[in-house]
Chains A and B, each alone.
Chain A
Amino acid sequence: MSSNLDPDAALMLRVKQGDTAAFTELVEKYKQPVMNLAYRTLRDMTEAEDLAQNVFVQVYKSAARYKSTAKFSTWLFTIARNLCLNEIRRRSRHPAESLDATHPEQDDQPLQQYEDKKTFSPPESLLQGELARQIDGALADLPENQRSAILLCRQDELSYEEIAEALGCSVSATKSLIHRGRETLKQRLKAYLRTGEGKKEN
């Protein structure tokens, strides 16, 4: 019966029966893409970690409701996007000063500098070069649905149909979101793309 089943769906069926090892396997496999989506949506490492953690807690708690006909990754990214949207709404209701907010007169300087006591490196130091930093900034300025569409588009395992399902819109609307988002990125990053690291590879 389960020979044609998506391997992740097979793992979820085991999770439904309380198999923690199967759940751990799924977390290990998807923690990176979920963190990428959360970080590039929220632009705050601590909040992104909390949100990503919450995504997997939700997955575990909702395992009983999971239907193996649905692809696991689509279901997972739908949960992740919904939690990101909730967080964005919460922020808009309770705006707080972000440590990542830039100084009004110095675009590239944060408002406040705090010593990072975490064991891993801060995200800025991991971004390789000016282009990556600019892309992150440009992505952050995109409308949420365009940004999510572009970020989910980076997930190889998701088809356009599955991205559309996660975004809750049609395939044509999804392609339109990606197109519009990319047009904005191209306009904003034109100078960097022509002279930056992208050019060197060609």
Chain B
Amino acid sequence: MNEFDYKTLLEKRWRHKVTAAEEASVRAWLAQHPESRADWDLETQLSEALEKLPDAPVPSNFTARVLQAIEREESAPRPSPSRTPWFLRFLMPRIAVAIVAVGIFVVYHEHTAVTARRAEAVQGVKVVSGVSSLPGPEILQDFDTIRQLPASTGPDKELIALMK
């Protein structure tokens, strides 16, 4: 017998009495391992004490009372079935699913639009940041004169001919 066998018998003793042969082998093992003797004795005494615990008293009419309780429950009025029309009971879950689906679509659509607007803004910032320098204000000194020139005037062909 080894320690594993001893533990196995100890577990068996939790529930049942060990046989005479098992008891003898335990005693032989305990003779070699006296440190475990007190524990075995205590386990045995606890098992015996638990086995001897008296039963809780059961009223003599217990079974009759159980049957009466069942009878009472069976004769009790059952909750009336739902008065919701059948087509509503049929449609309700489908409507609920549809509402949830529409909700999900709206949230998704809104999210996509916000993402696109953000991407656009980012692109604009990129373009502006790409311009290295802007021309100075002196470039606009003839702005008013140029603006007052008639828009439909074509090229001065006479002047071009003279210059040639």
Contact = CB atoms under 8 A, between A and B. Distances in A.
Interface size class of A (residues with CB under 8 A): 35 or more
Contacts of B58: 31-32, 35, 52
A119 B66 CA distance: 18
Interface of B: 11, 14-16, 41-46, 48-60, 62-63, 65-67, 69-70, 73
Contacts, number: 107
A172 to B, nearest CB: 11
Q: Would you list the 5 A-B pairs with minimal beta carbon distance, nearest first?
A: A39-B56, A198-B45, A193-B45, A56-B66, A198-B49
A182 B43 contact: yes
A198 B56 contact: no
- Where chain B touches its partner, the secondary structure class is helix
A132 B74 CA distance: 41
- Where chain A touches its partner, the secondary structure class is helix
7 contacts: A53-B69, A61-B70, A128-B52, A131-B49, A135-B49, A198-B48, A202-B45
Nearest to B68: A53
Given A27-B66, A53-B65, A136-B53, A186 B59 contact: no
Interface of A: 20, 23-24, 27-28, 31-32, 35-36, 38-40, 45, 48-49, 52-54, 56-57, 60-61, 119-121, 123, 126-128, 131-132, 135-136, 150, 153-154, 156, 175, 178, 182, 185-186, 189-190, 193-194, 196-199, 201-202
Contacts of A56: 66
B1 to A, nearest CB: 20
A104 B113 CA distance: 71
Contacts of B60: 119-120
Given A123-B56, A186-B42, A20 B48 contact: no
